[in-house]
Amino acid sequence: MITVLRYGHRAVRDKRTTTHVGLVARTFGADRFIVVGSDSVPVNTVNNVTERWGGDFKAEKVKDWRSFLKNFKGIRIHLTMYGKPLSEVIEKLQTYKKEDVLIFIGAEKVPADVYETCEFNVAVGNQPHSEIAALAIFLDRFTGGKWEKKKFKDAKLVIKPQERGKKMESF
Ligand code: SAM
């Protein structure tokens, strides 16, 4: 099971970004999305998408993120531009594919103890960019592209891909 934890969500400023982190997590192979804090908006938006577009993905809030992180039974991976390059650690990380994996991503500055608690600090390039981009690339590499074959069961909306135009079935 892959869980993505979004640390540092700021209710007014980050609504859209945090929602996009959740949607990226859902599409690219994660199973669960945790938003730190009390803002229900991104959690409800992501769960509404799952309700319409299918699958078992769950979004939820957590207040005490530190205890969640400390007590997580599995491998904790912190995505940060200060970490080891993804290409150097991806083979090792893939040996944990069958275990519970927590992917920790920030918004603004991440407290120093996160770097100590997580088993891995991983950089998607050692340049500052975006948590959305970092998560998408990480999940693509970690799942070996298998997210593309993922089935979203009980979907009420299913796109019928075609060369031009928009075709969708509703159930
Ligand atoms: N200077 C900040 C820091 O402390 O890492 C960057 C904040 S950035 C706007 C928000 C989040 O995006 C970071 O906490 C990290 O999870 C992710 N991120 C940004 N650049 C990254 C990179 N090159 N590799 C991995 N994650 C990155």
What the chain holds in terms of domains, given with CATH numbers, is: 2-170 (3.40.1280.10)
d(CA 7, CA 71) in angstroms, rounded, equals 16
Tokens (6 digits) for 157: 């909306």
**Beta carbon of 79 within 6 Å of any ligand 1 atom:** yes
**Beta carbon of 170 within 6 Å of any ligand 1 atom:** no
Task: Output the CA 171–ligand 1 centroid distance in Å.
Answer: 39
Residue 50, CB-side half-sphere exposure with 13 Å CA sphere: 23
Residue-wise pLDDT for 22-79, tens only, equals: 999 999 999 999 999 999 999 999 999 999 999 999 999 999 999 999 999 999 999 9
Place of tokens 């969640």: 68
Length, in residues, of the chain: 171
Place of tokens 């938003």: 35
Which residue's C-alpha comes closest to atom 26 of ligand 1? 80
Tokens (6 digits) for 144: 């070996």
d(CA 121, CA 74) in angstroms, rounded, equals 15
Q: What percent of the chain has pLDDT over 90?
A: 98
The yes-or-no verdict on residue 2 having pLDDT over 90 is yes
d(CA 91, CA 105) in angstroms, rounded, equals 21
For the CA of 104, the closest atom of ligand 1 is: 16
Q: Considering the entire predicted model, what is its pTM? A: 0.97
d(CA 90, CA 103) in angstroms, rounded, equals 14
Could you tell me where the DSSP H helices lie in 15-85?
15-27, 41-53, 65-71
Task: Output the CA 81–ligand 1 centroid distance in Å.
Answer: 5
Residue-wise pLDDT for 78-117, tens only, equals: 999 999 999 999 999 999 999 999 999 999 899 999 999 9
